[in-house]
Amino acid sequence: MTHTHGRLNARRVGKSEWELTIDGNSHSIVLRHSKWGMATSVVIDDKTVFKGGDLNTITYSGDIPLHLGSHSLVISIRDTTFGSNYSLTVDDVLVDGPAPTHVTVEDDKDRWAFQSALFTMLIGAPILYFIGGEHWFIGPVRADFAAIGSFVLALLYLANRFFSRKNDAP
């Protein structure tokens, strides 16, 4: 899809890649973002202009401010339950992707806990219960008992999360 705003033309060529034409000059912008590896880099015209992400800065959503000549760019990363959304803003004009929303570290932590609970209920606990059974041990606890306990804790977390959601309505 191509978006045109005056002297600006942007076209997404991949999930996190854009071709951008500003003032008659074409540029290639590539965002390399690993949700689970936490490594993020931005390459503009085959030159790495941003590199970040490590175990000390665990956030999955964020904005990366950049400059391309006299123009300001912002690449926004917004974590979703099953992936990430990316958007590109040039000179305060959203040229591609969903409008970036305000996000906090708490939002990312809540989403991470939700994903972990789902994983535990749907994958981890069944593997422990049906494959490990009474023959595997996690410390002094049989795997099937650990599976039941993990499942119940994940279920309680999800129930608490569902029933205690903040009501943003006035």
> CA 9: distance to chain centroid?
26
Domain boundaries, the chain: 2-96, 105-163
Looking at the domain that runs over 2-96, which CATH code has it been given?
2.40.128.180
Buried (b) or exposed (e) across 37-53, using 16+ Cβ within 10 A?
ebebbbbbeeeeeeeeb
Query: Could you report the per-residue pLDDT of 123-161, keeping only the tens digit for each?
Result: 888 888 888 878 887 778 888 888 898 889 888 888 887
* 3 pLDDT tier (thresholds 50, 70, 90): low
> Taking all residues of the chain, what is their mean pLDDT, rounded to a whole number?
80
pLDDT for res 27: 93
Which tokens is 124 given? 């981890």
pLDDT for res 106: 66
pLDDT for res 170: 40
pLDDT for res 5: 59
Which tokens is 96 given? 């591609």
d(CA 11, CA 21): 9
Query: Could you report the per-residue pLDDT of 86-118, keeping only the tens digit for each?
Result: 889 898 888 888 777 766 656 666 777 787 888
Which tokens is 106 given? 């708490």
pLDDT for res 95: 85
Q: Which residues contact 138 (CB under 8 A, 6 or more apart)?
A: 128, 146
The torsion angles phi and psi of 163, rounded to 5 degrees, stand at -85, -15
* 169 pLDDT tier (thresholds 50, 70, 90): very low
Query: Could you report the per-residue pLDDT of 34-83, keeping only the tens digit for each?
Result: 766 567 889 999 999 988 765 444 456 778 889 988 899 998 888 776 67
pLDDT for res 48: 92
Residue 4 in contact with residue 20, Cβ under 8 Å? no
SS3 assignment, position 16: coil
Which tokens is 49 given? 């202009």
d(CA 11, CA 2): 4
Query: Could you report the per-residue pLDDT of 7-34, keeping only the tens digit for each?
Result: 778 888 888 899 999 888 899 999 988 7
Residues linked to residue 142 through DSSP beta bridges, in sequence order:
137
pLDDT for res 28: 94
Q: What does the DSSP assignment read for 88-127?
A: EEETTEEEESSPP----HHHHHHHHHHHHHHHIIIIIHHI
